[in-house]
A and B are shown apart, each in its own frame.
Chain A
Amino acid sequence: MLKIRRSLLGALALSTSLFAAPLYAETLNIGVAGELASFDTSQVSGGVWESQVLMDVYEGLVKKAPDGEILPGMATSWEVSDDGKTYTFHMREDAKWSDGHPVTAEDFVFGWQHLLDPENASKYAYMLYPVVNAEAVNTGKKPLDALGVKSLDGGKTFQVTLNSPTPYFIQLLTHYTAYPAPKHAVEKYGDAWVNMNNIVTNGAFTPVEWISQSRITVTRNPEYYDADKVALDKVNYFTIEDRNAGVSRFRAGEIDILREYSSSMYGWLKDNLPEATHMSPYLGSYYYVLNSREGRPTADKRVRKALNLAVRRKVISEQIMAGTFLPSLSFVPKGIANYDVQKMQLSDDMDARMAEAKKLLAEAGYGPDNPLELTLRYNTTDEHKKIAIAIAAMWRPLGVKVNMFNSEATVHYQTIQEGKFDVARAGWIADYNDAENFLSLLYTGVGNNYGGYSNPEFDKLLDKAAVTQDAEKREALLEKAEQLAMDDYALIPLLYYVARNLVDPSIEGWEDNVEDDHPSRWISFTD
């Protein structure tokens, strides 16, 4: 029966367009890797799976096309002042919350204040720190209304003032921290506004049921301004933590899209479900942090270079990870917008590299009598373990003795933030599509700068890029900064992440993209 329905819809889609109004009820079942922390975007914990649900039920000032391109969302157009510090957004006049209440600039002012309110203790509040007074508000030094956002013309215009021109600001608006919050509902229900009975959303879908650890169900929001172009009636997000179980459920036809299958299954899936198996570049960097703090062997640039020289990235990518990660020599992942990645300069001749590495270690005072001994920490997963063992083996010919420690993620990150390691596994997935999001992790004194890398010249370049409006000049500054860090061997770039999805071949409107964002509003079924 379902098949017939879908083929009818398929015929219709062919005859009119992809976004034809659907005739029959269509439900999309998506398997996501974890549980959403909250429908209150200020309380979200940062799992990549969370944004899938949130982007379906909320819409920010801008939204994403199937290919990841930015389209107008709640704002239909915007202007930037000459100094690049003031953005004026013109709100969509027919935008409504799912209860029919209009979405106005007030909801954005309220939502952003809600996020930055210290009482709400949002983990991701710093995303909006480019806004004037955001940090002061978030640290309780200034009242909420000091925030540099305004609702003008009776809510028809939203104006944001930034501390400095922030060229990636529009990119940043795609993140869920920049979504609005329904002021009228929060005022009416208080914290309980997120309960399934009270919640209102402004996206293409709206939540109707949440069984913790099992399923979230959303249905098409009839008040959404583009509701007649949304093909799906209902989307179920199933929490599937066991990745192999996810593949089983996909094969059994219980889910139509599985977000992230396990890398070890890639070979089998590629051979057996070639049409459903998707793998594409993703804005994520898998790297080893080198501790540059005083007193650590890795504080010596020669040691850092030697360790980099001895790592065979292609072997890790192809033989250990079966091609589900791509070898990398840069910190910023390939595919980031308006940017050319700057690679660490290492020759392809492995023998020459090993010889140079040995020489460098000898110069640094390490040799058979005084072997280099390193503490390598990683968080406990099979993938990280395999990679750590391989890298330790690659360093062994240099006479490096590696002491490996693994711990659960919580302990791992706490330990490396305290600087108690020489080498440590880390990864970073882009919050927004801009090189700055990665490079700022190497800025002196930043919390996520686990290795304590510090180069005043690097910091200066980043500071300068932050106030440069000209896109090309800014790109040049950021590229120069990355090259500087690579020349310093500030870390060990290892792999670029890839997005791995299983998508039922009868689905249309799915396009692989570097941010791996796939709003369900573009999805439809055809046969």
Chain B
Amino acid sequence: MLNYTLKRLAMAVPTLLVIITLSFFLMRIAPGGPFDGERALSPAIEANLRAAYHLDEPLVMQYLRYVGNLLQGDFGPSFKYKDFSVTELIAQGFPVSLELGFWAILLALLIGLPLGIIAALKRNSAIDYGVMGTALAGIAVPNFVIAPLLALTFGVLLAWLPAGGWNGGAWQNMVLPVIALSIQQIAYLARMMRASMIEVLGSHFIRTARAKGLSESKVILRHALRPALLPVVSYLGPAIAGIVTGSVVIEQIFGLPGIGRYFVQAALNRDYTLVMGTVVFYGGLIVLLNLVVDLIYSALDPQIRYDD
């Protein structure tokens, strides 16, 4: 197991290098640069800016400089948010996104999984249709609709909770964004859990278990649940990486200082260093979580073993 983990971590290095290289050059190919805006710059001022950010050097030099700095843990300065380095921006924003994401995932698991199991057990009943219909609506309604509705209803009209703001992470400020973040995940998880549970319940070993005369609850909990969770777990890896790195929509609507907005804004601003920083960070997180997923797999399914 340890060997396997180390091997996987070692393999992450070339993966990340490919990600870095691709995104570095793709970003430079994109039309427009960090200094293009409503107001045209005079050639002299633009030359000053290019020199200050080393954009006047050949592209390959810039690339080597970037990778060199990265190896020393330096993501460079942001082109746009000048009083912060990229490392500082991520360090300040990630805990916020992580905290929101953690609660959203937890909520989604606690609600989505039981709903999916119940729907599978009561297949084609009113409960099943009700749960799946609601889940479909949850998937179909985008969060840029749900979030303002929540803010309007609970923040403005009922005035139970703040309509926005972070307020140092007070729980009142977290309730609405966590709900908005989790609704789609609840829906996905419920649908996925239902489908996978139905498939497992139709398999031979479940029939055997039932034939042995086990109670239905034992059949579900001891035999069906673990294999049924496998597809959910493999979905959760990348999903968690996506959620804990924030959502631009939720952050903008609730005014939260997470890192989700950087993924979009940095690209729009051509903030080269911030784009690279977020991509490398996200890439690293995906690699890590995929590894965790694979390790959980072996715990859930005895047929999967990584020992060599």
Complex partner residue of B163 from A38, A135, A212, A252, CB under 8 angstroms: A252
Which residues from 389 to 446 on chain A have a C-beta closer than 8 Å to any C-beta of chain B?
408-411, 413-415, 417, 426-428
B32 & A411 in contact (Cβ 8 Å cutoff): yes
Complex partner residue of A211 from B33, B49, B155, B257, CB under 8 angstroms: B257
- A240-B38 contact, Cβ under 8 Å, with A122-B45, A123-B45, A414-B31: no
Least distance between B263 CB and chain A CB atoms (Å): 13
Complex partner residue of B257 from A125, A212, A251, A252, CB under 8 angstroms: A212
Q: Number of contact residues on B: which range applies?
A: 35 or more
Considering the complex, give the chain A residue whose CB is closest to the CB of B35.
A123
Q: How many of chain A's residues have a CB under 8 angstroms from any CB in B?
A: 54
Which residues from 222 to 273 on chain B have a C-beta closer than 8 Å to any C-beta of chain A?
251-258, 261, 268-270
Least distance between A342 CB and chain B CB atoms (Å): 24
B165 & A119 in contact (Cβ 8 Å cutoff): no
Contacts across chains A and B counted by CB atoms under 8 Å = 159
- A245-B42 contact, Cβ under 8 Å, with A251-B163, A410-B36: no
B292 at the interface (CB under 8 A from A): no
| Binary flags per residue of B24-63, CB closer than 8 Å to A gives 1, else 0 | 0000000111011111111011011101110000000000
CA distance A241 to B40 in the complex (A): 24
Least distance between A420 CB and chain B CB atoms (Å): 11
- A254-B162 contact, Cβ under 8 Å, with A37-B80, A40-B82, A245-B254: yes
B155 & A447 in contact (Cβ 8 Å cutoff): no
CA distance A415 to B52 in the complex (A): 24
B106 at the interface (CB under 8 A from A): no
Interface centre among A123, A214, A238, A244 (most CB of B within 10 A): A214
CA distance A121 to B82 in the complex (A): 12
CA distance A252 to B261 in the complex (A): 24
A239 at the interface (CB under 8 A from B): yes
A211 & B164 in contact (Cβ 8 Å cutoff): no
Least distance between B170 CB and chain A CB atoms (Å): 13
A121 & B269 in contact (Cβ 8 Å cutoff): no
A43 & B82 in contact (Cβ 8 Å cutoff): yes
B148 & A212 in contact (Cβ 8 Å cutoff): no
A409 & B92 in contact (Cβ 8 Å cutoff): no
- A138-B256 contact, Cβ under 8 Å, with A212-B81, A249-B164: no
Contacts of B39 in A (CB 8 A): 46, 123, 447-448
CA distance A194 to B32 in the complex (A): 29
A46 & B37 in contact (Cβ 8 Å cutoff): yes
Which residues from 263 to 298 on chain B have a C-beta closer than 8 Å to any C-beta of chain A?
268-270
| Secondary structure type dominating chain B contacts | loop
A248 & B155 in contact (Cβ 8 Å cutoff): yes
- A135-B44 contact, Cβ under 8 Å, with A254-B162, A408-B268: yes
- A138-B45 contact, Cβ under 8 Å, with A46-B39, A212-B92, A408-B268: yes
B159 at the interface (CB under 8 A from A): yes
Complex partner residue of A119 from B41, B52, B254, CB under 8 angstroms: B52
A245 & B40 in contact (Cβ 8 Å cutoff): no
Contacts of B270 in A (CB 8 A): 410
Contacts of A415 in B (CB 8 A): 31
Q: Which residues of A are in contact with B by a Cβ distance under 8 Å?
A: 35, 37-40, 43, 45-46, 118-123, 125-126, 135, 138-140, 194-195, 210-215, 238-242, 244-245, 248-249, 251-252, 254, 408-411, 413-415, 417, 426-428, 447-448, 450
Q: 28 interchain pairs (CB within 8 A)?
A: A37-B82, A39-B83, A43-B82, A45-B80, A46-B37, A122-B48, A123-B39, A123-B41, A123-B45, A138-B48, A139-B44, A195-B83, A211-B166, A213-B251, A214-B166, A214-B257, A238-B165, A245-B255, A249-B163, A249-B165, A251-B163, A254-B163, A410-B37, A413-B38, A414-B32, A417-B36, A417-B40, A427-B38
Q: Which residues of B are in contact with A by a Cβ distance under 8 Å?
A: 31-33, 35-42, 44-45, 47-49, 51-53, 80-84, 88-89, 92-93, 148, 151-152, 155-156, 159, 162-166, 251-258, 261, 268-270
Q: A138-B44, A248-B156, A249-B163 are in contact. List 9 more A-B contacts (CB 8 A).
A: A37-B83, A139-B48, A195-B83, A214-B165, A240-B255, A244-B148, A249-B255, A252-B164, A410-B33
